[in-house]
């Protein structure tokens, strides 16, 4: 699967980019490379993101009404939640405090800060049961 995403505002550390290509990693359902669309730098502006519904079935962040309105989300089914993955030599962590919420119909998205919720910025990613 490959699709385009358009951020409402540039994601932190990737300004001024707002248009990104989301490419599923072959053989790893729910793992994607998110690369700045038309990147002239050979894809160095790339993040790895995970589909939270695949890797984190107990993760249910709550976004504000304002965030929901900005993304034009009517029901929870209208959205996909992606989390940024940070692979290191010691394992992979995921940012649960600032997920990327995607409107599945429009491809518009935002990296939101979950206010008043106790999610970690660097949560260890546990292996998915087969």
Q: Residues for the chain: how many in total?
A: 130
For 99, residues 6+ apart whose C-beta sits below 8 A from its C-beta are: 52, 61, 81, 82, 83, 111, 112, 114
Domain boundaries, the chain: 2-124
pTM: 0.90
Chosen CATH of 2-124 out of 2.30.290.10, 3.50.50.60, 1.20.1260.10, 2.40.30.170: 2.30.290.10
Helix (H, G, I), strand (E, B) or coil at 69: helix
**CA angle at 18 for the pair 96 and 51, rounded to the nearest 5°:** 35
* Rounded Cα–Cα distance for residues 99 and 25 (Å): 19
Give the tens place of pLDDT for each residue, 41-65: 555 678 999 999 999 999 999 999 9
Helix (H, G, I), strand (E, B) or coil at 122: coil
Q: What is the pLDDT of residue 43?
A: 55
Confidence of residue 100 (pLDDT cuts 50, 70, 90): very high
């Amino acid at each position: 699967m490959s699709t385009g995403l358009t951020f409402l505002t540039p994601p932190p550390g990737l300004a001024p980019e707002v248009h990104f290509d989301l490419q599923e990693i072959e053989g790893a359902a729910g793992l994607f490379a998110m690369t700045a669309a038309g990147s002239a730098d050979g894809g160095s502006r790339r993040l790895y993101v995970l589909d939270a519904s695949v890797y984190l079935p107990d993760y249910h962040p709550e976004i504000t009404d304002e965030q929901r309105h900005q993304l034009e989300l009517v029901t929870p089914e209208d959205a996909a939640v992606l989390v940024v993955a940070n692979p290191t030599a010691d394992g992979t962590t995921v940012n649960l405090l600032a997920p990327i919420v995607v409107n599945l119909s429009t491809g518009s998205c935002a990296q939101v800060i979950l206010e008043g919720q106790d999610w970690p910025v660097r949560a260890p990613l546990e292996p998915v049961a087969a």
